[in-house]
Amino acid sequence: MKIKKALLVALMILGLCGISHAQSSLGQTTVSAAISIGPAGAASGLGSTTYQTLVTLASGTGVNLAINGQPTTFLYIDQELFGVVSNPTGTTYSVLRAQQGTKASAHASGTMVLIQTVSPTLGGFSGSGGLQPTDPPIGGACTAANTLVTPWVNIITSAQWLCSTITGTWVPGWNNPYGAPEAKVTTAVASAAGQVTPSGPLFHITGALAITGFLIPVGFNATAAGGGCFTVIPDGTFTWTTANNIAIAGTAVVNVLLSFCWDATNSKWVPSYVMA
């Protein structure tokens, strides 16, 4: 029995190693019930010694429970990091508030949540990418294949970073003050007769197929309180339609910058120009 138990523990550790040390993306969902700071802090985020410690998510995909009281999954919501402890019911989780130097605050229902599972026994948040307390070296070299988790998110400022396959360096991602007007290109995306996923705030789109919509990339806040834009450099005269989530149809002009901004009111991408 002791041998079996030891083997089970070893397998669990190896499983966590695979999660933490293989290239992957952060998980993403939303809060499905408002989170208060506690009775004394109300909505201000100040003055409370009793925190609300239950978080209800729209989806529990990618959320693991603590091992021997040590959180392995962390939720990042509005510059606050939560450590998941247990699962009382459904997609409601008992959590530790204000982890890793972040500050507790109130969070509205529908707020974006980023999810990362780490291995406390094998370095926790060490490595490149994922939820980190600092920025990467700005302009520092990186290799996408060796990036453990994407995007890199500074949990103190919420600025996101991507490892560009074009420049081989860390470049600004979503919600990053360094992103405009000095954005750097990320991976080129091929046009498709369907929906495509933006690779970052600035990238090339190749080909001339009819794009029917843009999928929401990990880290982009497309909630009712969110928003943002991305800009593409057309390499071909691709078109876009209104079949899914683009507000108005149009045709790209080669080498003329084209931006799409998220309209949270109508849940649509709005283009910066339309060519007949």
* Residues 174, 94 share a domain: no
* Residues 104, 38 share a domain: yes
pLDDT of residue 120: 59
pLDDT of residue 15: 36
The answer to whether the CB of 204 falls within 8 A of the CB of 186 is no
Q: What average pLDDT does range 23-47 have in this prediction?
A: 74
In this predicted model, what pLDDT tens digit does every residue of 141-168 receive, in sequence order?
999 888 889 999 999 999 999 999 999 9
Q: What average pLDDT does range 115-127 have in this prediction?
A: 67
pLDDT of residue 119: 74
Q: What average pLDDT does range 215-221 have in this prediction?
A: 96
The answer to whether the CB of 151 falls within 8 A of the CB of 174 is yes
**Residue 198 confidence class, pLDDT cut points 50, 70, 90:** very high
Q: Is 93 within the bounds of a domain?
A: yes
> Lowest mean pLDDT: which of 39-43, 51-55, 83-87, 102-106?
39-43
- CA 171 to CA 30: how far, in whole Å? 26
Q: Is 154 within the bounds of a domain?
A: yes
CATH number at residue 78: 2.40.30
Domain count of the fold of the chain:
3
Q: Has residue 124 got a pLDDT over 70?
A: no
In this predicted model, what pLDDT tens digit does every residue of 53-71 receive, in sequence order?
999 999 999 999 999 889 9
Chain centroid offset of residue 261 CA:
18
pLDDT of residue 128: 81
Q: List the structure tokens of 164.
A: 């560009």
Q: Where in the sequence is the domain holding 242, given as residue range(s)?
A: 188-276
On the question of a cis peptide bond just before residue 151, with omega within 30 degrees of 0, the verdict is: yes
* Residues 162, 224 share a domain: no
Q: Is 10 within the bounds of a domain?
A: no
In this predicted model, what pLDDT tens digit does every residue of 161-185 receive, in sequence order?
999 999 999 999 999 888 766 678 9
Q: Is 33 within the bounds of a domain?
A: yes
Chain centroid offset of residue 251 CA:
29
Please list, in sequence order, all residues whose beta carbon lies within 8 angstroms of the beta carbon of residue 61, skipping any fewer than 6 positions away: 27, 29
Q: Has residue 242 got a pLDDT over 90?
A: yes
- CA 63 to CA 84: how far, in whole Å? 8
- CA 265 to CA 263: how far, in whole Å? 5
In this predicted model, what pLDDT tens digit does every residue of 11-34 receive, in sequence order?
333 333 333 345 689 999 999 999
pLDDT of residue 28: 97
Q: Has residue 221 got a pLDDT over 80?
A: yes
Q: What is the largest CA-CA distance in the chain?
A: 73
pLDDT of residue 49: 54
* Residues 164, 98 share a domain: no
**CA nearest 240: which of 269, 216, 264, 263?**
269
